[in-house]
């Protein structure tokens, strides 16, 4: 069974800076986690230096999977 993409075809990809602001994290953390495969991300380009892009819907799902469901 193939997995359906979670992003909408009209959803604009976010830059690492935008993703960092959305998640409240540092840009370097976002980039490192993307490179490690911990955070859902899409690399553009080849080689050592990649341009990373993120979709808000994927980040929202990732964040929901990391929370324990307890309200503060």
Please state the domain extents for the chain. 16-64
* Helix intervals (H) in the chain: 16-23, 27-36, 56-66
Q: In this predicted model, what pLDDT tens digit does every residue of 23-60 receive, in sequence order?
A: 999 999 999 999 999 999 999 988 778 899 999 999 99
Under the banding of pLDDT at 50, 70 and 90, the label for residue 1 is very low
Contacts of residue 50, defined as CB under 8 A and 6 or more positions apart, other chains included, come to: 35, 43, 44
What pLDDT, on the 0 to 100 scale, is given for residue 41?
A: 96
d(CA 2, CA 12): 23
pTM as predicted: 0.76
What pLDDT, on the 0 to 100 scale, is given for residue 3?
A: 46
């Amino acid at each position: 069974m193939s997995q359906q993409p979670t992003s909408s075809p009209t959803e604009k990809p976010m830059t690492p800076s935008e993703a960092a602001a959305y998640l409240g994290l540092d840009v370097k953390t976002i980039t490192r986690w993307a490179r490690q495969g911990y955070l859902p991300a899409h690399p553009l380009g080849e080689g050592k230096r990649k341009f990373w892009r993120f979709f808000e819907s994927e980040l929202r799902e990732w964040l929901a999977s990391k929370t324990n469901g307890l309200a503060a």
